[in-house]
Structure 1
Amino acid sequence: MGSLIEELEPREAAGRVRVEELEAEIAGLTARLEGEKQTWSRLRITRETVAEVITELSGQAPAEAAMSPQEPVAPEMRVVGAIMVPHWREGLTADALPDVYRDIVEVIADAAGPMQAKQIVPRIGLPAVTGKIEGTRGKLKRLVQRGWLIEDQPGRFCPAHPGPGGESVNSRNDKGSSL
């Protein structure tokens, strides 16, 4: 029998090979996951856009469609689970928005000045990758169209309707937290 060190060297080499194989597998899975996330994001945005177009074609004003229960637009077409962003009007708060849109509005309301999509993405908990930035930019443009935000310069967004006294959305909800 050889020395203990000589016996451990082949086991160590085999362990290193297994680790390298697993790391390569993880890298491949990570790339596949990112591709699937981007596909999912594009499909979700497409579904939202199609739902908006169908709503507009049905003759309902977008604000009416957002407040009415989901019902078939035509006998053969049904919009299920469409996320609607209502037009801003007096008395309507960010709570009326779907979660991601509300997060975007709150981040911008809390900012010191106009923000770009690439600055907003990490603040709403998304990775700062091109797909997420572009998806967020689309949401920002939708919020501008619906009167929630303004685009003071191309690509720079700020609140269209600051809170009372110019305070931010979150500062009105703050109950003196120590954070």
Structure 2
Amino acid sequence: MLIPHRTPDAEETMLPPDYQRILAAVRQAAGPVMARQVGDALTIDVSVRSKLEPLRGKLVRLVDRGWLRKLPDGRFTTRL
């Protein structure tokens, strides 16, 4: 699954549906969020590490492609 790099003309609709939901959950948060909070918002059982780690990987992939920012304390937020 290819996650495109964010460019000025890139639309969120270019992202796969799972990534669109993750991006929406981070955007709807009152501030920077941890992966566990995103999982809660998406109704993922975050008490199970095998469910939380793939979500964290997707968040990091969104950071790598420029869709999100990761703060030094490990929280995620939308790009400014």
**Do they fold alike, i.e. is TM over 0.5?**
yes
How many residues end up aligned between the 2 structures?
79
Residues 89-100 of structure 1 correspond to what in structure 2 (within 5 A)? 89-100=7-18
RMSD in angstroms over aligned alpha carbons?
1.2
Of all paired residues, the percent bearing the same amino acid is: 37
Once the two structures are superposed, the pairs formed by residues 10-89 of structure 1 within 5 Å of their partners are 83-89=1-7
1:113 maps to amino acid: G
Q: CA deviation at 1:111?
A: 1.0
**TM-score, normalization by structure 2:** 0.89
Amino acid at match of 2:77: C
CA distance in 2, matches of 1:155, 1:111: 15
Task: Quote the offset at 1:150 in angstroms.
Answer: 0.4
**Counterpart in the other structure of 2:32:** 114
Q: Secondary structure at the match of 2:71?
A: strand
In structure 1, what is the Cα distance between the partners aligned to 2:20 and 2:31?
18
Q: Return the offset for 1:131.
A: 1.2
Matched, 1:139 2:58: yes
Amino acid at match of 2:50: G
Secondary structure of 1:153 counterpart: coil
1:10-60 residue CA offsets vs partner (Å, 9 max, x unmatched)? xxxxxxxxxxxxxxxxxxxxxxxxxxxxxxxxxxxxxxxxxxxxxxxxxxx
User: Aligned partners of 2:28 and 2:18: how far apart in 1?
Assistant: 15
Structure number with the higher helix fraction is: 1
* Higher relative contact order structure (alpha carbons within 8 Å, sequence separation ≥ 6): 2
CA drift of 1:153 comes to: 2.4
Deviations 1:67-94 (A, max 9, x none): xxxxxxxxxxxxxxxx110000112122
- Measure how far apart 1:96 and its partner are: 0.9
- Find the counterpart in structure 1 of residue 20 from structure 2: 102
Gaps of 5+ in 2: none
Larger Rg: 1
State the partner residue of 2:76.
157
